[in-house]
Amino acid sequence: MKSINIRRLSLRSIFVALTLIGALIASGCNTMEGVGKDTQATGEAIQDAAK
């Protein structure tokens, strides 16, 4: 019985870890997209000022 509880605990820990990693990756993608848009807007502003 003890090995079943340890195995269940291990699977649960792996599931929680993968869920957290997935959430971090998803939030990281949104952050990088925002940075890309900000950089693009800055570049466009510089181009407009140079004209």
Task: Indicate the Cα dihedral angle 27, 21, 16, 6, nearest 10°.
Answer: -170
What is the per-residue pLDDT for 19?
Answer: 92
Instruction: Report if pTM > 0.75.
Output: no
Segments making up each domain of the chain, as ranges: 1-51
What is the spatial distance between Cα 27 and Cα 34, in angstroms, rounded to a whole number? 11
pLDDT in tens, the chain (51 residues): 556 666 676 888 889 999 998 888 877 777 777 888 888 999 999 888 887
